[in-house]
Amino acid sequence: MPRPDSPGAARQAAALAALRAAEAAARQGPELSAPAGPPDPSARDSHAMSAGAPRAPTVANGRVADDSEPDPRSVAHGIALRVLALRPHSRVELERKLARRGCDPQVAAEVLDRLTEVGLVDDAAYAHLLVQSRSRTNGLSGVALRRELREKGVDDDLAKDAVGALDDETERARAEELVAKKLRTMGGLDPQVQARRLAAMLARKGYPAGVAYAVVRDAVNAAVEHHHD
């Protein structure tokens, strides 16, 4: 969704790399920090015994734990990281995807809290990225963008702030670009038909009727004058 060189994408990529490095260090920490010294005979004997016999099962809370069962937090964490590696997501989007994968809601919440702490889940940044991208590539209006952010679970105040970054001139310019591009494919049609179809296109993208009417009127009139010339 965001451009690879956008500030939001760069921040999330850096946070993702830092988190992975920290987790790798944590996994290797005990082995790397163990002091060198002569082998412990008891440890060697214990290792020899365990090599030839099955390991005793772990007992927790009076129940035998299955050591082969993956840790739920690790599973949820891995799913979230893989999803975020594809593109930024809102927190609610991630909650929905983790739920579909069968993750416990409490576990998912803890994992997402951690990802929020390190900056990988940031609904404010996500909202701004989506607004800039959708406005630039899809020509969506502020109304349509707020609706999409709401569907993705972004807080209304965050959505309002993100959409507010688009001023009226920018929104009209996007509408003019859409109309000009579409109008080039409508040669030969009656101007009234052109105007009706262009207005319907802008309406689908959420542009107010007043903006749509003004942009379409100016574009169609200019095309008619150019044709007569």
CA distance 85 to 81: 6
82 within domain boundaries:
no
Same domain, 220 and 195: yes
Q: Please state the domain count of the chain.
A: 2
Q: Could you tell me how many residues make up the chain?
A: 229
In whole angstroms, how large is the CA radius of gyration of the chain?
28
Domain boundary among 113, 146, 164: 164
128 within domain boundaries:
yes
216 within domain boundaries:
yes
Range of the domain at 135: 123-164
Burial of 66 (0-12, 13-18, 19+ CB in 10 A): exposed
211 within domain boundaries:
yes
Same domain, 173 and 145: no
Same domain, 173 and 224: yes
Same domain, 191 and 153: no
Same domain, 175 and 220: yes
Which tokens hold the place of 56? Answer: 């005793």
Question: Taking the alpha carbons of 205, 209, 211, 214 in that order, is the dihedral positive or negative?
Answer: positive
Same domain, 191 and 177: yes
Alpha-carbon dihedral 159, 153, 202, 181, rounded to 10 degrees: 90
Same domain, 150 and 176: no
Write the Ramachandran bin of 63: left for phi over 0, alpha for psi from -120 to 50, otherwise beta: beta
Same domain, 158 and 187: no
Same domain, 159 and 173: no
pLDDT tens digit at each of 229 positions of the chain: 444 455 555 666 566 665 565 555 444 443 333 334 444 444 434 433 333 344 444 444 444 455 567 899 999 999 999 999 999 999 999 999 999 999 999 999 999 999 999 999 999 999 999 999 998 888 899 999 999 999 999 999 999 999 988 878 888 888 999 999 999 999 889 999 999 999 999 999 999 888 899 999 999 988 877 666 5
- Given a contact cutoff of 8 angstroms between Cβ atoms, the answer to whether 181 and 219 are in contact is no
Domain boundary among 164, 189, 220: 164
SS (H, E, C) 90-153: CHHHHHHHHHHCCCCHHHHHHHHHHHHHCCCCCHHHHHHHHHHHHHHHCCCCHHHHHHHHHHCC
Same domain, 219 and 172: yes
For residue 135, how many other CB atoms are within 10 A of its CB?
A: 21
118 within domain boundaries:
no
Phi, psi dihedral angles at 63 (to 5 degrees):
-120, 150
160 within domain boundaries:
yes
102 within domain boundaries:
no
Domain boundary among 164, 190, 216: 164
201 within domain boundaries:
yes
Q: Helical H runs in the chain?
A: 7-33, 41-52, 72-86, 91-100, 105-117, 123-137, 142-151, 156-164, 168-183, 191-204, 209-228
Same domain, 173 and 218: yes
Identify the pLDDT of residue 136: 86
